[in-house]
Amino acid sequence: MSAHHRLLLVNGPNLNLLGTREPEVYGTATLADVERLTTETARELGFDVRAVQSNHEGVLIDAIHAARVDCAGIVINPGGLTHTSVALRDALTGVALPFAEVHISDVYAREEFRHFSYLDDVAAVRVVGQGVEGYATAVRRLIDLL
C-alpha cells in the first residue's frame, strides 16, 4: 500500500493499561480494541494503519519521524505528554503530516493541568471525550482532510 494510503496510530504513556486503568474514566476497552477499531475504520476508507504505543517519549518521536516516508497522516493520543512535551509537538510539526489529536476522556472536565495541550493549535483534527469511539471519529475526519 502506498504512503498516501497509510496512517500512523500513536498511543502514548500508560495507554497500554487501557481496560484496567481507571475504567470509570477510560472505559473497559483495551489498547488492542483501540487498534482494531482504528484499523477497521481506516480500512473501510481505503487506508492501512501502523500502530505504535510506548511509555517512552523518544520511541514515539522516532515513529513519528519514520512516518514521513510512508504515511499520509497521524492519529495520536499523547496521553500525559499532551500537557508537557514540546519535543512531541516539534516532531509532529517537523514531519509536516496532518494529525488528529485524540483524548478518550473529556480533559476539560478533569484537573486544571489537563486543559492545556501543546498540540491543540497545530492539530488538523481534535477529538475529546468521545471514549474509544473518538479514534474512529478522528480517522474519518483526518481522512476527509486528506
**Catalytic residue positions?**
26, 103
**Spatial distance between the Cα atoms of 3 and 49, rounded to a whole number of angstroms:** 11
Tell me if 2 is assigned to a ligand binding site.
no
Tell me if 77 is assigned to a ligand binding site.
yes
Residue 56 CB neighbour total at 10 angstroms: 10
Contact 146, 72 (CB under 8 A): yes
Residue 118 C-alpha from the chain's centroid: 14
Tell me if 55 is assigned to a ligand binding site.
no
Tell me if 114 is assigned to a ligand binding site.
yes
Tell me if 105 is assigned to a ligand binding site.
yes
SS3 124: coil
Residues of the binding site: 77, 83, 90, 104-105, 114
Residues of the binding site for substrate: 77, 83, 90, 104-105, 114
